[in-house]
Homo-oligomer: A and B are copies of this chain.
Amino acid sequence: MKLVIAIIQPYKLEEVKEELYKSEINLITVSEVLGHGRQMGVTEVYRGAKETGNLLRKMRLEIAVNDNYLEPAIKAIVKGAKTGETGDGKIFVLELKECVRIRTEERGPVAIG
């Protein structure tokens, strides 16, 4: 089992969700985060005081998948989130040791999805 964490542009969330559904991946957790990578921050000006390089609003997705769904998940996220410009985001994959479905207390691969 793997835990996939993706940081994407906020306005790409719908497209990514759609691509994931197409790959039969339905269980996702979304949170709003601030990110800073190679993309330049936007300039904000408050009463004449300029502030640049602020953190940018991003969406963070967490998706737990069984091993055979890992590549489809990565492909779906890339397909939905890629524009080719800086700021598209990143995907991280971590080893998932255990997974518990709280409702039934099932464990392991059967509890995912």
Contacts and interface: CB of A to CB of B under 8 A. Distances in A.
Interface of A: 2-3, 5-8, 17, 26-38, 55, 58, 60, 62, 64, 70, 74, 77-78, 81-103, 105, 111
Query: Chain A at the B interface: mostly helix, strand, loop or mixed?
Result: strand
B92 A98 contact: yes
Top 4 A-B pairs, shortest CB-CB distance: A93-B98, A91-B100, A88-B102, A88-B103
Chain copies in the assembled complex: 2
Contact of A64 (B87, B90, B100): B90
Given A26-B36, A30-B34, 12 more contacts: A3-B5, A5-B62, A6-B102, A17-B36, A27-B35, A27-B38, A64-B90, A78-B100, A83-B103, A92-B99, A93-B98, A93-B99
